[in-house]
Structure 1
Amino acid sequence: MTVYTPHEGRFKLTLRLRMAALAGALLLVVGAVLVLFAWLLVTDERILVYGAVALVAVAATGVAGGYLIASHSLRPLRRVTATAQRLSGDSLDARMNYSGPDDEVAELAATFDAMLDRIAVAFDSQKRFVANASHELRTPLAVMRTEIDVTLSDPDADLTEYKRMAGVVRDASTRANALIEGLLLLARTEAQAGRRLTRKAHADLAAGVAAALSAVQPEIRRIGIEVESDLRPAPVVGDAALLDRLAGNLIENAVRYNSLGGRLWVRTGCDAAHAWLVVGNTGFEVPPGDVPAMFEPFRRGGRERTGARGSGLGLSIVRAVCDAHGGTVGAEAREEGGLEVTVRLPLAALTPVLTGTATVPRR
């Protein structure tokens, strides 16, 4: 028994037909056994004749009944199929909303709806990311084009004006290049999340922090930031370049969003299972409810990054690096203003815990 499905261009033995045939075959076998058993007891040829007729009727009834029962039972599955076929980028709000008995079908429908919720969230996040990335890239390009057009259209422009224009174009191109590099790094890091890292080596978070602090010393001196550091061994295994970028992003953010004459504190260490890094800074007040959004690309303090300093990818890259290394990152808004970020990564295997190990301090 087959059904022809024109849209597929081939015959298909559906689940309903298989269930119906199975029900009919089961009744036929059971009925045949009963008829044979009755004939052996009575030894009357009429029992075989009447039994055969009854078997045909029972089998036909079983097939028809099995088909109807299967059709009713599989109706929610057809709704799942129809919903999936209607899905597109503009119709991700479609849901099963199954209200039948609490059985396997209800579990499947609930799982399907939950999957659509996750897909919708990811799709919206991707659209927002693309829109923000486009905006951030358009801004420096627009600045460069405007400066060039204005300068070239000025017949009285002299060498000084052209030098000024060249400086603006250089700064805008530097911003665009930094954004592109950040996007590529974020894409590379997120691609490794949940999978084995392509490059692994023993590293120490303290070494990455020391290098990052050295790189921002000119800015620290310009703003007059007081730096407190307690760099104890924090051995980990992972991609050294990504780990250095993690420390660099946290230190750069702590300097960039600090206040004149503010403070910056950095601590590293390890416990029995994790190596940790804490970076905190003074600065503007951050509402606690805005902290989770700060790890999204192009967002700061729960607000979209439009024209703010930096590319807006710092903390999102930190989160991606932590995910790729099987670690976690969290942040806490300080009542006095500023932020404290804590990174935890698995302690390097087969590496002895060095002296000076301590628990993560609280500020």
Structure 2
Amino acid sequence: MARNGLRLRLTMLSTALLALVGALLLALAYLLVGRIVAALPHYLPGTQVRLEDGRSVDARAFSDQVVHQGRETVLVVGLIAFPLVVIAGGSLSWVLIGRALRPLSTLTSAARALSESSLDQRIALTGPRDEVAELADTFDDMLARLQSAFEAERRFVANASHELRTPLSVIRTEVDVTLADPSASVAELRAMGEVAREATDRADRLLNSLLFLARTQASGLSVVQRVDLAELVSPALLAVEPEIAARRLVVRVAGAPALVSGDPALLERVVGNLIENAVRHNVIGGAVGVTTGVGDGVGFIEVASGGTVIDPRTVAQLFEPFRQGERARTGHRGSGLGLSIVSAVVAAHGGSVSASAVEGGGLRVRVQIPSRAQMPSRDRSPSV
């Protein structure tokens, strides 16, 4: 009904324009008849013109009669042809406009039938590449982005539910086992309390990471200042110094100044997450390399670490929530959101993050942040 309403309005508009042009042409023809006769050679007053029937009439009266008959003929023919032309033009406009609006009907039907379970459908409009085809292609692109977002949300919710269920199950199991033993000693109760506290801490870290990730993706930057990424490396290394010592890691830092524009707290989280991942997923006696600097107008930090051999085809999966190498779930300290948070923060700064597997085992992650604040791209994603 809405499409027919638009079709009717466009048809009426085109028909009205056709009628206006036809009326102007008719008026122009009416005037031209008089002008043409007036342009003929003039006779002297009193000159007689002999007609075919033998009668003689005054030349001026004859000219006036020719003008009158010519205009009368134009009016008669015009009044007959005018409505016919308007009707034919209106009918043709109705047909042509209907064909032109047909893709819009397809687009409307697709939008009306759209649901979460039908995001894989595409219009794939064929035909000339006009404005309607461009609109249909834009709609298909929007559907592709929505489908990707819904799939990512499903995976995220499923993984988050699993990760939150694990510490809660640990707490409940420890409490049930301890309460089932009426003769439980103080040491056993304390052990139960320590296990429950560790599980609670894990859930707390997970929830904080989830909130941080959601807020970063939703609100973006709240503060933009000049920040030197090189100055953030030492505090991040100091935070994981006990783990570095426990794993007997060798840390090498090449800390050239890397001035960028951004939120200091968010960038501190980026550097901290990169170094934490490099330490916690490393091998005993492995190495960690941190490099900062400026190149091509962007500041960068690159963190390389030892570790298990990573399939280069799966490197991109590390930026998905709850992915840790070949493991799809977290199994030790950490939420599995480290690189996901890095990716979200870097995107909010209009930067880029890339990762590559290190030959012999390990991962190299490079983050680049513009030296001046830029608007982030909506479709920015980590590159491999």
Aligned ranges for residues 16-35 of structure 1 at < 5 Å?
16-35=7-26
- Which digits, 9 at most, give the CA deviation of each residue in 1:44-102, with x for residues without a partner? 33532442342222222222221111111111110100000111111112211223334
Q: Is the 8 A contact 2:216 2:348 kept in 1?
A: yes
Could you tell me which amino acid in structure 1 is paired with residue 72 of structure 2? E
How far, CA to CA, are the matches of 1:202 and 1:117 in structure 2? 37
Could you tell me which amino acid in structure 2 is paired with residue 37 of structure 1? L
Q: Is the 8 A contact 1:291 1:302 kept in 2?
A: no
Alignment of 1:299 with 2:290, yes or no, is: no
Number of residues of Structure 1 aligned to a counterpart in Structure 2: 337
Alignment of 1:15 with 2:39, yes or no, is: no
- Select 2:285's aligned residue among 224, 240, 261: 261
Aligned to 2:215: 188
Aligned ranges for residues 256-335 of structure 1 at < 5 Å?
256-271=280-295, 273-301=297-325, 304-307=328-331, 309-335=333-359
How far, CA to CA, are the matches of 2:331 and 2:174 in structure 1? 17
- Which digits, 9 at most, give the CA deviation of each residue in 1:333-356, with x for residues without a partner? 01110011111112268xxxxxxx
How far, CA to CA, are the matches of 1:268 and 1:97 in structure 2? 46
SS in 2 for 1:300: coil
Aligned to 2:57: none
Q: What is the TM-score with the length of structure 1 in the denominator?
A: 0.87
SS in 2 for 1:237: strand
Q: CA deviation at 1:28?
A: 0.7
Q: How has the CA–CA distance of structure 1 residues 59 and 74 changed in structure 2, closer, same or farther, with 3 Å as cutoff? A: same
Q: How has the CA–CA distance of structure 1 residues 303 and 36 changed in structure 2, closer, same or farther, with 3 Å as cutoff? A: farther
How far, CA to CA, are the matches of 2:227 and 2:205 in structure 1? 25
Q: CA deviation at 1:324?
A: 1.4
Range moving further from structure 2, 202-211 or 107-116:
107-116
How far, CA to CA, are the matches of 1:200 and 1:114 in structure 2? 32
Q: How has the CA–CA distance of structure 1 residues 50 and 348 changed in structure 2, closer, same or farther, with 3 Å as cutoff? A: closer
Aligned to 1:109: 136
- Select 1:337's aligned residue among 345, 356, 361: 361
Q: CA deviation at 1:206?
A: 1.5
Could you tell me which amino acid in structure 1 is paired with residue 257 of structure 2? P
> Which has the higher Rg, Structure 1 or Structure 2?
2
- Select 1:70's aligned residue among 90, 94, 97: 97
SS in 2 for 1:304: coil
Could you tell me which amino acid in structure 2 is paired with residue 234 of structure 1? A
Q: CA deviation at 1:181?
A: 0.7
Aligned ranges for residues 69-218 of structure 1 at < 5 Å?
69-193=96-220, 197-218=221-242
Q: Is the 8 A contact 2:324 2:330 kept in 1?
A: no
SS in 1 for 2:146: helix
How far, CA to CA, are the matches of 2:332 and 2:15 in structure 1? 72
Q: What is the TM-score with the length of structure 2 in the denominator?
A: 0.83
- Which digits, 9 at most, give the CA deviation of each residue in 1:209-246, with x for residues without a partner? 10010011111111111111122222222211111111
Q: CA deviation at 1:142?
A: 1.3
How far, CA to CA, are the matches of 2:324 and 2:78 in structure 1? 81
SS in 1 for 2:96: helix
- Gapped regions of structure 2 (runs ≥ 5): 34-66, 374-384
Could you tell me which amino acid in structure 2 is paired with residue 99 of structure 1? T
How far, CA to CA, are the matches of 1:53 and 1:150 in structure 2? 101
SS in 1 for 2:117: coil
Aligned to 1:355: none
Range moving further from structure 2, 224-233 or 163-172:
224-233
Aligned to 2:30: 39
Aligned to 2:379: none
Could you tell me which amino acid in structure 1 is paired with residue 14 of structure 2? A
How far, CA to CA, are the matches of 1:183 and 1:26 in structure 2? 61
- Select 1:233's aligned residue among 252, 257, 262: 257
Aligned to 1:57: 84
How far, CA to CA, are the matches of 2:198 and 2:284 in structure 1? 24
SS in 1 for 2:299: strand
SS in 1 for 2:303: strand
Identity of aligned residues (%): 50
Q: How has the CA–CA distance of structure 1 residues 35 and 100 changed in structure 2, closer, same or farther, with 3 Å as cutoff? A: same
SS in 1 for 2:170: helix
- Gapped regions of structure 1 (runs ≥ 5): 6-11, 350-363
Aligned to 1:353: none
How far, CA to CA, are the matches of 2:328 and 2:98 in structure 1? 51
- Which digits, 9 at most, give the CA deviation of each residue in 1:90-144, with x for residues without a partner? 1112211223334333332222212211111111111111111111111111111
Q: Is the 8 A contact 1:262 1:283 kept in 2?
A: yes
Q: Is the 8 A contact 2:202 2:333 kept in 1?
A: no
How far, CA to CA, are the matches of 1:116 and 1:303 in structure 2? 31
How far, CA to CA, are the matches of 1:129 and 1:272 in structure 2? 35
Q: CA deviation at 1:323?
A: 1.2
Which contiguous aligned blocks of 4+ residues in structure 1 show a shift greater than 4 angstroms?
none
